Amino acid sequence: MESRGRAGKMLVGAFGGLVGWVRPKVVRLEYLLDAEDEQVVRRLRTKGHELHWVLETRLRQLQRDGWKPVTQWDKIGRRSIFMDRREEIILLHRRTP
């Protein structure tokens, strides 16, 4: 057990920047309707999810109500979220109740 603790501490020391939360890459859309062309948005719609654009300042409140940012993953596992060109409005989704 003690060796795991030391190894964990060494990993945190060596990769400290990777352990913490990393802001996702932002896909900036000039027009909000351009999101409809994205594969992840089409897939969510076919699964019956609601989509909603909201100000980033309301994000935490809506997450408590079950909304999640629309997330797209690239080939190496980095996530991207969809926002307007000014990065003030974020695209959220939730399963239709």
Q: State the average pLDDT over residues 4-13.
A: 46
* pLDDT over 50 (residue 13): no
| In the block, residue with structure tokens 């795991």 | 4
* Residue 3 included in any domain: no
Q: Supply the pTM of this predicted model.
A: 0.73
Give the other-Cβ count within 10 Å of 3's Cβ: 7
* Residue 58 included in any domain: yes
Domain that holds residue 51: 24-95
Q: Which amino acid is at 71?
A: T
* Residue 40 included in any domain: yes
Return the pLDDT at 84.
92
From CA 74, how far away is CA 85, in angstroms rounded? 20
Give the other-Cβ count within 10 Å of 69's Cβ: 20
**Total domains in the fold of the chain:** 1
* pLDDT over 60 (residue 10): no
| In the block, residue with structure tokens 């999810």 | 49
Return the pLDDT at 95.
92
Return the pLDDT at 24.
85
* Residue 35 included in any domain: yes
Query: In this structure, are residues 34 and 89 in contact, taking their beta carbons and an 8 Å threshold?
Result: no
* Residue 17 included in any domain: no
